[in-house]
Structure 1
Amino acid sequence: MHKAFLYRWIDYTQKHLRSPLLLLSAMLVIVLISGCDTSPISKSQSGQSTTFTGSSTQQQITYNTSGNEVLIRTFYGGGQKGTFNLGPQISIYGDGTYILGLNRQGKLDTTALQQLLSTLVDTDGLLSFKRQLFFDIPDQDATFLDINSDGKHLELMYGAFGSQPASAQDKDEYQRLGKALATLSHAVQGPTTAYQGKVVALLTYQTFSANLKQTIPDWPIADFTLAQAATFECGIIPEDDVSSNPTVPCLQFTIPEHAILLDARQIQNIETALNGKQAGDFFEDSQYYTVILRPLLPDELQSKTLAMFGSSQIQFIGVPLLEGSVPPVPTPTPAK
């Protein structure tokens, strides 16, 4: 009942407070009642953080209000099904900006953002969970939820759960986590626009299945070779004398070891060679490589880390972002 009212109230304010007259009226009401605050959420600000009171238990909730600080983030994957994602599903930042995947963005106003945090932290009590991993079948994919609030960082995993004996508390927390994820999905259903990250990382791996029926351009960058980049990001490919079409798991099923930050000139040259596309194959020294131009999210340049998720993971592992010279290809160690 409380959640249904909350959603109707948020929808109403977002739709109707755009009118200047209604907005002015609302401001007058706020002034009149400020002496005896009856709002379920009160707040105080300090620098780039703010504190407000949750609506259920009156718990104090503090969060960073910077547009580069991630408050809530979700990923999907981790199992043995070969699921690989270049970025998170949802990223919500301290200023209310949310980004869906790597290509759509929207905005929560302060009220909606704090109502969301109040539901997750106060009502659902995620920060006080005794258990963090809810899954019984490790080879299946799951949803991973990251929360940064009250100076705490929490990672929760929501997957197939219940096939093994579990305590009443574990079952209750699993149900609350499911409700929290549903609340989160509902909160980011508003209008969105295209997200276009101005800073781009290079991801590349050697491919053995290039489409030779189409023209494959030569690598247009002289600063480093694709052999250097692919080896730096995915490691040296083991010798395979058996398979006629070997598969490289890196960047197809699993996350890379590193990523490379490109400058504006390099981005332009690669995009020109790809006819404006964000991914494609290149030819270099009798080998073929798949190249992906991956836009950075607002927090990633600051942290020098890409947020990606692949198969065979049970927790988030950031991909280090290199800014500078790409190391040479290491000399293979002779087999004894």
Structure 2
Amino acid sequence: MPHQALFLAILNLFILEIVSQILLALTVVLVLQIVLNQYGEVPAMATVVRQSKVKKRTNLTILRQIGTIGLIVIVAGGVTLYNYVYLEGMLDDQPALISHRGVDDGNGVQNTIPALEKTAQEKPDYVEMDVHETKDQQFVVMHDDNLKHLAGVDRGVHDMTLAELTALTVPENGHSAKVASFDQYLAAAEKHHQKLLVEIKTTNEDSPQMVQHFIDKYEKRLLKNHNRIHSLSYPIVAEIKQKAPQLFVSFIVPYNITFPQTPANGYTMEATTLDSDFVGQAHGKGQTVYAWTVNDEDVMQRMLFTSVDGIITDQLSTLKEVVKENNDHPSYATRLSIYSSQLAGFNGDVEN
């Protein structure tokens, strides 16, 4: 009974909107009554209301009555149309689907070329991956600044040259693969026409010229292939925007405490505290918002309704299914729940 479900959802949303507006109006009236009574400038509120009603009944003409009824019908029709569009998801733009560290459900070793090649076949909008500067001031595709967890080698990335690093084979998820230089990884992505979201990792051992080296070596290729950058380091973000303003750079923000004022093109925020208010402020400034790392279906659904511009996930195939299901069969109950939570001042966060 899809039509009946849609009708009931529109009715419920209409009731929520009416109740919220009535409560708002009553609050305003109550505050005004308190203020005016405090200064003794008007009679009691009940008397004012009675006098107003009598005056309106006396002065209101048939033409005005018809006009009022017509206006109510137009407003109610507009609200109903908006509710239909909202509940059917017609106001939603599909976010970019972003594979975290280039894997989908453990289909390979994170940040390696074999995993990239498998995941690229699923056609994500972006593959998110990480780069570190090496001892010889080159760039290697690696998340951690120490190799102990992934490669079993208790050495820092900055303690090894690029040649030493790319000679290593790393195991994960029942797979194994060679560590890749960024040049190798970038070439593989270009071969498969796969856009990248490059996270620039930082350590205290980074050379002072690290950002400049990165820009000199990769700016043209990144722009040509519409790749993007993000970083948890604000100095990195600011320096890139100053020296290579055409590059798209997102500032990674772990928590939603206050809206930052930065030259970044956008923000990448951990999903737990990300809400529609933050997204709305970013969009108002022409900035995008990516949510990370979203692996739970309920959180995926909430991020869709929050209108984020991209969702970073380890479960790419699951995210694609959630997006498709949302487009084909939008959840009226979930949309109503999120709308009512926003009215109540909650963001409906679900723990990751």
TM range (shorter): under 0.3
TM-score by length of 2: 0.22
TM-score by length of 1: 0.22
Greater CA radius of gyration, 1 or 2?
2
Greater fraction helix: 2
**Greater RCO, 1 or 2 (C-alpha within 8 Å, sep 6+):** 1
Greater fraction strand: 1
